[in-house]
């Protein structure tokens, strides 16, 4: 089981990666270019790995809600639904807000691009 320090490192890495990718998207947009599909796909893959690993190592998820097979692959395959269920079982409504925040991190560059396109 991961320690609290490594869980914090997962989350800090995800936030820094979202901020840097969003900043790069804005910078490229200001220069008249867009981020490539490959860049956004790679961002989504790496961010999903970070978020799923953060969710799976949550110590507050009861043992009854953890299956005996590969729990990480199950959360990966059904990311928003099973993650919301686990976080609700562990933290009630605060857990749902955590999952929404994590999904916001996952969609951050696309949201920033949509916002800057609407403004500019």
In tens, the pLDDT along 74-92 reads 777 887 788 788 788 888 8
Closest Cα to residue 18, out of 114, 103, 105?
Answer: 105
pLDDT at position 2, please? 61
pLDDT at position 76, please? 78
pLDDT at position 65, please? 67
Torsion of CA 67, 72, 78, 81, to 10 degrees: 70
User: Between 120 and 15, whose confidence is greater?
Assistant: 15
pLDDT at position 20, please? 94
* SS3 at position 31: coil
pLDDT at position 87, please? 82
Confidence category of residue 16, pLDDT binned at 50, 70, 90: very high
| Contact in structure between 83 and 99 (CB atoms under 8 Å) | yes
**Calpha distance 83→42 (Å, rounded):** 21
**Encoded tokens for 43:** 């961002």
Mean pLDDT across 35-52: 88
The packing angle between helices 37-56 and 93-106, to 10°, is: 160
Closest Cα to residue 87, out of 99, 77, 75?
Answer: 99
Neighbours of 42 (CB within 10 A): 12
User: Between 84 and 22, whose confidence is greater?
Assistant: 22
pLDDT at position 21, please? 93
């Amino acid at each position: 089981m991961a320690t609290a320090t490594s869980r914090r490192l997962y989350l800090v890495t995800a936030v820094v990666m979202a901020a840097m990718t969003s900043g790069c998207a804005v910078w490229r947009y200001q220069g008249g270019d867009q981020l490539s599909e490959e860049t956004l796909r790679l961002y989504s893959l790496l961010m999903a790995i970070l978020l799923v690993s953060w969710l799976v190592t949550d110590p507050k998820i009861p043992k009854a809600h953890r299956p005996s097979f590969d729990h990480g692959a199950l959360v990966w395959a059904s990311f928003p639904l099973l993650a919301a269920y686990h976080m609700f079982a562990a933290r009630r409504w605060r857990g749902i807000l955590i999952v929404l925040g994590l999904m916001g991190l996952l969609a951050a560059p696309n949201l920033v691009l949509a916002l800057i396109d609407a403004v500019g």
